[in-house]
A and B are shown apart, each in its own frame.
Chain A
Amino acid sequence: MSLPVQISVPARDAPRIRLDPFDHLWFQVTGTLCNLACTHCFISCSPSNRSLGFLDYEYVIRTLHDSREFAVKEYYFTGGEPFMHPRLLDMLEQTLAIGLATVMTNGTLFRDSTIQRLARMRDASIYSLEMRVSIDGPDAATNDPIRGQGTFARAMAGVKKLVDAGFLPIITMAQTWDHAESESVYRKMRQALLELGYLRPRVKMLPSIRLGAEVARSRGYRDDERVTPQMLQGYDTSNLICSNSRIVSDRGVHVCPILIEQPDSILGQTLKEAASRDYPLRHQACYTCWLHGAICTNASTAAQGREVAVSAASARTQTQDLSL
């Protein structure tokens, strides 16, 4: 169970965010069940955490159908570890018939038959199938203390299987190092992926979300880390995930993937209910979103861009020079 989050302001005092447009629909397909137990997981997923359960296949398909009324643009599949769901591939196939699908995975459970089927459905659809693999460092020394012994090697092997099958996976690294090291970490990860044979590595760095197991690993939010109405003046609220997303779990439809364990995060039992209700930014985790933008979705945000500047561009230019 994750630690309770300090609710810093009463709902009536918190700035409220409306969902407009409803661009991203998330499915928490395996709840909080995962084959790993990462020490920074903001919802403390593990092989024994069943606080959120699996989603029923028929329910996912009905929800996909319902989502069309809202002109949802992108579909995300997360957990826990989505590949632990026996019908994930069927869900992805149905999704790719109507829109882009992204799967967030730890990359450690890829059977050859799974990769082959993913490749077939990717080739059969006009929409993109994005694979996002979480690897929290460019080597075992950085990654394994967080994700578990041997997980770096297993995840990189998973990435190699994807790359060999023609995928361009997005590798996401949750930052557990000092800001000053970010450029170096980014460059090292690109290098590690190049050595794997991934010649066009796509890498995203994510900030720490100070919830769940992460609180014990490093720290929770400080008292001053919260969103005030003043902080929204002149701020582009389309940066906030609650302005464009909702997530479905086996308990209902929540405001965002980060707050999914918070009782007040459920905005309704249907997409329509949850889409029509706005959300007060009362949780301290909202501060991470405010600061960094909607880190959960695929596109990078301005604040992430500040983490590494010139070196990333020059890193790719060097790669191009070698290949030309």
Chain B
Amino acid sequence: METVCFYIFALMALTGAVSVITQRNPVYSAISLIVTLFAVAGLFLLLYAQFIAILQVLVYAGAIMVLFLFVIMLLNLGKQPPKVVKLVGLKIAGGVAAGVLMLTIISHLLGGYSTGVLGEATPEAVVTEGSTELIGKALFSDFVLPFELVSILLLVAMIGVVVLAKKPDQEEA
């Protein structure tokens, strides 16, 4: 059952990802990306990371994708004029480079093995305690400084976005 689910989600994720980079219309790319994000959320569920899976759906498939679609609609990118310059050579080179990267990563993966000290968050602990509780405990004890820094990062990003996206000043224009 788990294996079947893994292959279904993996197929969904890969199909969506390929569709993201092959669609001509950015709106279709965004929809394909949502499919991929949901599939990855399903994989998180299979990995006993329920909290992260919910967050994936809420933050990525919800907030971030709404932002993408909003900007696409705002800029009215649906009907792009056909490309004047065709960069076929560049595309082939990019594809070849990506293929080589893929082969490198997979050869390393297949040749290597993972080591490490096993922690306490076994699937049984996740089931009995809940992944939210485990993450909360870690986040507010060992990782409290990074957590606060992330809030500062988000504040800075918010201010930056407001400054960037507001209408240019009258005298400047």
Q: Do A and B come from one complex?
A: no
A contacts, CB < 8 Å to B: none
